[in-house]
Amino acid sequence: MADAAVKGKAESRDSSAAEAERELTDGFHLVIDALKLNGINTIYGVPGIPITDLGRMAQAAGMRIISFRHEQNAGNAAAIAGFLTKKPGICLTVSAPGFLNGLMALANATTNCFPMILISGSSEREIVDLQQGDYEEMDQLAIAKPLCKAAFRVLHAADIGIGVARAIRTAVSGRPGGVYLDLPAKLLSQVMDAAAGQKSLVKVIDAAPAQIPAPAAVRRALDVLKSAKRPLIILGKGAAYAQADDAIRALVERSGIPFLPMSMAKGLLPDTHPQCAGAARSTVLKDSDVVMLIGARLNWLLSHGKGKTWGEPGSKKFIQVDIEPKEMDSNVEIVAPVVGDIGSCVSALLEGIEGKWPAPPADWTNAVKAKKEENIAKMAPRLMKNSAPMDFHGALGALRTVIKERPDAILVNEGANTLDLARGVIDMYQPRKRLDVGTWGIMGIGMGFAIAAAVETGKPVLAVEGDSAFGFSGMEVETVCRYNLPICVVVFNNNGIYRGTDANPTGGSDPAPTVFVKGSRYDKMMEAFGGVGVHVTTPDELKRAVDAAMGSGKPTLINAAIDPAAGSESGRIGNLNPQSVLRKK
């Protein structure tokens, strides 16, 4: 319950002395108490009417309040806190514009299956519903609804406990995602009896209950897997989220099946593991005959499970392990759906293979190994190039060594070339250490993710950012300095989006739409707030600067000058970019 110091005494509205002595609480305190009761101790947000005092009082009550410069970044922080901890991350915003800024992050969290709760203050129902033009008026509940798992509004202080409980349970149970909780200004100052208020709070029991797969579904999956001549396991970020690391590792190792990690599942088993097929991705997707997906969807990131990426039509059988039954058959037929939580499903599969599992045919595992070694050998010399200006590979070669030497550091990554190439080059060694643009390939997650990663884990963070990508959340370097977080931002500065070499085809004075000020010094931004700024032009300098930053834990931004001509259009997904057939070359 709220501490006595901040609880009010009843004003004596009637003459009863006993009534006047009655302890009171209010909406502010009940929201804070409800969150704390459920083990939620951090709030990411931006203050203002009507939630300024909610933030202050939460801090006074011992919660950690991380105050951002823009709600979108606070929302992204909450979302990734949810991914890292399996507890919903909380983002707190003001009404209409603050709410809308945070809503992007809520939608992105829902798309990525990250549990988060966007809590926004709102203006008075009676004014909003009659559209009479209140301060920051908006029907936020209606707008949030289609973009998240559920949206709730609380009108009575006595319902705050239930409202918070529903929000938590909805965010983390089943397929995790975003929840919107609408708190009108009047609710926060609503007063009620403190004892009744305390009784109204709900501690959510077993918020994400285990969902045990049907034994027949497990047997069916094992039968299909056993029949495979060229089996493959694909691990997705759902597998990373599930925190069933030991069981997943055991399943992969005891089955002997090559595995391919999706971007944010890298490190679930080390990328250097002998069964890792990351460096033979095209080959295993094309040539495998049975593919077991664990916490990964057959969306665009896996070419929807069809087309030339996947070889001959009809050459594949898919097994899918997922908590969401509706995910099955979403793109292609799933011959063995295993519906349940990944921890329970993987344990059941593991039991089924215990002691009696045939190793996959050696011609398959050898073929994967050979392809992988060939690709790794091909890339190696490019990673060693110590030239100025740097190209992406040279710079990433240096960062690859940094993560090898500091495997517990968290890598945040966004951009186009900066993202796609870093994903391939930088090996990960531990689960949930790589955080990136996720299912939408969204720019702007950088500083929010980096800040929450540092706050939630206390580990050093390395954020590798395209110069465009960084710009979406760059102002939060002030937040990094203000909270003195151990974050090292490396901006891959190639003067623009994909490349810095485009010119205005008319010869006019406006720059091309994809380029920025040439030779910008992003490092000065960090210096402006008391952090460390470094400008580097070679991979050796880059390595030294990152080592110093990671060693000291001081907020640092390294401006890494990258050859403006080195990148390619849209990084590795240029094929998704429509081209005009009428455009003059």
Count of CA atoms in the C-beta half-sphere (13 A) of 292? 30
| Alpha carbon 131 to its chain's center | 36
Q: Tell whether residue 414 is a contact of ligand ADP (CB under 6 A).
A: no
Judged by CB under 6 A, the residue of 34, 192, 323, 443 near ligand TZD is 443
Coil vs helix vs strand at 267: coil
Rounded-to-10 torsion of CA 167, 169, 173, 175 = 0
Q: Which residue has the tokens 């939620």?
A: 40
Within positions 59 to 118, which residues make up the interface with ligand ADP, using CB under 6 A? 112-113
Sign of the C-alpha dihedral computed for residues 225, 228, 233 and 238 taken in this order: negative
Binding mask 149-178 for ligand ADP (x = CB under 6 A): --------------------------xx--
Q: Tell whether residue 442 is a contact of ligand TZD (CB under 6 A).
A: yes
The answer to whether the beta carbons of residues 290 and 360 sit under 8 Å apart is: no
The answer to whether the beta carbons of residues 446 and 477 sit under 8 Å apart is: no
355, with CB counted inside 10 A (0-12, 13-18, 19+), is exposed
Tokens read off for 217 = 């579904």
CA angle 291, 297, 303 (to 5 degrees): 75
The residue count for binding ligand ADP (CB under 6 A) is 24
Q: Tell whether residue 522 is a contact of ligand TZD (CB under 6 A).
A: no
Q: Tell whether residue 466 is a contact of Mg ion (CB under 5 A).
A: yes
Question: What does the alpha-carbon distance between residue 284 and residue 286 come to, in Å, rounded to a whole number?
Answer: 5
Within positions 433 to 472, which residues make up the interface with ligand ADP, using CB under 6 A? 439
Binding mask 336-375 for ligand ADP (x = CB under 6 A): -----xx---------------------------------
Q: Which residue has the tokens 């057939």?
A: 581
Binding mask 362-401 for Mg ion (x = CB under 5 A): ----------------------------------------
Q: Tell whether residue 95 is a contact of ligand TZD (CB under 6 A).
A: no
Total residues belonging to the chain? 585
Nearer to ligand TZD, 457 or 570 (CB): 570
Q: Point out which span in 242-250, 401-409, 439-447, 452-460 binds ligand TZD (CB under 6 A).
A: 439-447
DSSP symbols for 476-542: GHHHHHHTT--EEEEEEE-SBSS-S----TT--SSPPTTB--TT--THHHHHHTT-EEEEE-SHHHH
Q: Tell whether residue 99 is a contact of ligand TZD (CB under 6 A).
A: no
Nearest to residue 249, comparing CAs of 263, 238, 262, 235? 235
Judged by CB under 6 A, the residue of 28, 364, 449, 498 near ligand TZD is 498
Question: What does the alpha-carbon distance between residue 552 and residue 484 come to, in Å, rounded to a whole number?
Answer: 11
Question: What does the alpha-carbon distance between residue 158 and residue 156 come to, in Å, rounded to a whole number?
Answer: 5
Q: Tell whether residue 475 is a contact of ligand ADP (CB under 6 A).
A: no
Q: Point out which span in 155-163, 334-342, 378-386, 463-471 binds Mg ion (CB under 5 A).
A: 463-471
Question: What does the alpha-carbon distance between residue 299 and residue 309 come to, in Å, rounded to a whole number?
Answer: 13
Q: Tell whether residue 560 is a contact of ligand TZD (CB under 6 A).
A: no
Q: How far is the CB of 546 from ligand TZD (least distance, A)?
A: 17
Judged by CB under 5 A, the residue of 110, 344, 365, 494 near Mg ion is 494
Q: Tell whether residue 318 is a contact of ligand ADP (CB under 6 A).
A: no
Q: Point out which span in 146-154, 162-170, 319-327, 569-577 binds ligand ADP (CB under 6 A).
A: 319-327
Q: Which option in ligand ADP, ligand TZD, Mg ion, none does residue 119 bind, with CB closer than 5 to 8 A by kind?
A: none
Judged by CB under 6 A, the residue of 418, 430, 479, 559 near ligand TZD is 418
Q: How far is the CB of 352 from ligand TZD (least distance, A)?
A: 41
Nearer to Mg ion, 38 or 494 (CB): 494
Q: Which option in ligand TZD, ligand ADP, Mg ion, none does residue 416 bind, with CB closer than 5 to 8 A by kind?
A: ligand TZD
Amino acid letter, residue 59: Q
Question: What does the alpha-carbon distance between residue 198 and residue 25 come to, in Å, rounded to a whole number?
Answer: 9
Phi and psi angles of residue 544, each rounded to the nearest 5 degrees, phi first: -65, -45
Q: How far is the CB of 175 from ligand ADP (least distance, A)?
A: 4
Q: How far is the CB of 8 from Mg ion (least distance, A)?
A: 54
Interacting residues with Mg ion (CB under 5 A):
466-467, 494
Interacting residues with ligand ADP (CB under 6 A):
112-113, 175-176, 236-238, 241-242, 262, 264-265, 295-297, 299, 301, 322-324, 327, 341-342, 439
Interacting residues with ligand TZD (CB under 6 A):
415-418, 441-444, 466-469, 492, 494, 497-498, 567, 571
